Amino acid sequence: MATNNSSFEFSLFSHLVLNLLILLLATSTKTANSNAFSIKEATIEGIQLAFRQNQLTSRQLVQFYIGEIRRLNAVLNAVIEVNPDALYQADKADYERKFKAPGSLVGSHGIPVLLKDMIGTKDKLNTTAGSFALLGSVVARDAGVVMKLRKAGAIILGKASLSEWADFRSLQAPNGFSARGGQGKNLYVLSADPCGSSSGPAISVAANLVAVSLGTETDGSILCPSSSNSVVGIKPTVGLTSLASVIPVSPRQDTIGPICRTVADAVYVLDAIAGVDYNDPTTKVASYYIPYGGYKQFLKPYGLKGKRLGIVRNPFFNFDKGSPLTEAFNYHLQTLRQQGAVLVDYLEIANIDVILNATASGEAAALVAEFKLALNAYVKELVASPVRSLAEVIAFNENFSDIEKIEEFGQDIFLAAQATNGIGNTEKAALLNLASFQEM
């Protein structure tokens, strides 16, 4: 018995020592990696440098982001789906970089990207606008912007959450809510408004769930969540980025743009996604205005010098005198001045109250009619879909009101859109009124 006890004690001791060594090795490896390169808050330029210096691989980058999504998404509800092929795409990027394939050492190559769940992908991911009504639908092809990202070597990490149907289902639904994604939360103050409708892309970037994301905007849906979550969003001119295979609200107003942590990153991504897509004719005209060499050439340390910037305080920045918001705002204005910008403060925009009033401006009347036409066309072109019209989406919501939270939030915008009958006299008058504001 003594011998057996001794053997048992030795085996137990050896086992404990072995586990301790493994733990120490794992910790030292993790520490060494973190000392070599910190992924949190990393920029595209920093990541590319780490790639070139063999401090980081795309696989490690994807694994880190997936780990952060698993750790934080239960609280933030920023991501709806992770791409099951993301690691395969990462390995492909690492292989191309190893053999110095053309374009593999710069730009978006090997960089993971989260897409707002309005942007179609022809892969294992769903494209649903955050609604169960489109779960299982299949797009005919990748969205034009996704094609360009893949061509640049980017990794499609997954689909980000959003305000359901780009905040065009109901006036009562809170920003950042979707049936599939839940209620998105502002990273900095969980009870604060994350804004929308591109809430998920902005929250994800702010929380280091990814460095790069794409949002869509019809009216403030990139700019507002970017502001609320302290990240950088660019709303491109309509036509600069393709809308092909993207769930629409209004082809006249919709656009797709980057949401990132820095201006430089947003510009790099804009360069990757802007340009002609023959599945979206509007991109041909807009492409004439893309500068030769892209936009990154204008990223200069002293680029603000001599630039005139208008500050429209009313109604956007009317803060109480002496409030922390006023102090922070004035501090940033002073920073702009120190960098050489010429600020035209207290700039007034004529008819701003009418412009910002969707009913008075005619925007609401135009959008509901355009939405019905555009959505019906979109779902009819899908390879497979549980619904084939706005009317069927409305019926789905009524049949599954519990999961879509119809009793809580309703679908009044959908019902208003369904009641329209194309672009009639009312809609034409609304569009003429909107056009008049552009001519001021």
DSSP state string for 23-69: HHHHHHHHHHHHHH---TT--HHHHHHHHHTTS--HHHHHHHHHHHH
Alpha helices in 77-135, H assignment, sequence order: 86-98
**340 in the Ramachandran plot: left (φ > 0), alpha (ψ -120 to 50) or beta?**
left
Q: Beta partners for 116?
A: 160
In a structure prediction context, what are the per-residue pLDDT tens digits for the chain, which is 440 residues long?
333 443 333 333 334 333 433 333 333 333 334 347 999 999 999 999 999 999 999 999 999 999 999 999 999 999 999 999 999 999 999 999 999 999 999 999 999 999 999 999 999 999 999 999 999 999 999 999 999 999 999 999 999 999 999 999 999 999 999 999 999 999 999 999 999 999 999 999 999 999 999 999 999 999 999 999 999 999 999 999 999 999 999 999 999 999 999 999 999 999 999 999 999 999 999 999 999 999 999 999 999 999 999 999 999 988 888 899 999 999 999 999 999 999 999 999 999 999 999 999 999 999 999 999 999 999 999 999 999 999 999 999 999 999 999 999 999 999 999 999 999 999 999 999 999 998 76
Place of tokens 């005198």: 321
pLDDT of residue 380: 98
Q: Give the residue numbers annotated as catalytic, written as ranges.
A: 116, 197, 221
CA distance 198 to 160: 8
Work out the angle between the directed axes of helices 363-381 and 390-399 (0-180°, nearest 10): 90
Instruction: Give Dmax (Cα) for the chain.
Output: 99
For residue 277, report the phi and psi dihedrals to the nearest 5 degrees: -135, 120
Token pair belonging to 21: 């060594």
Inter-CA distances, 31 with 69, 70, 197, Å:
21, 21, 38
pLDDT of residue 349: 93
pLDDT of residue 440: 62
CB-CB contact of 232 with 103 (8 Å): no
3-class SS at 318?
A: coil
CB-CB contact of 274 with 235 (8 Å): no
Q: Give the contacts of 52 (CB within 8 A, at least 6 positions apart).
A: 105
Give DSSP secondary structure letters for 223-274.
HHHHHHTT-EE--PPTTSB--TTB--S-TTT-EEEEEESSHHHHHHHHHHHB
* Cis preceding linkage at 315, omega within 30: yes
3-class SS at 131?
A: coil
Count CA within 13 A, CB hemisphere, residue 43.
13
CB-CB contact of 107 with 190 (8 Å): no
CA distance 175 to 349: 27
Letter string b/e over residues 386-425, b meaning 16 or more CB atoms within 10 A of that residue's CB: ebebbeebbebbeeeeeebbbeebbbebbebbbebeeeee
* Cis preceding linkage at 230, omega within 30: no
3-class SS at 157?
A: strand
- Mode of pairing for the β-strands spanning 182-183 and 112-116: unpaired
Count CA within 13 A, CB hemisphere, residue 137.
31
Place of tokens 């990273």: 187
CA distance 406 to 127: 21
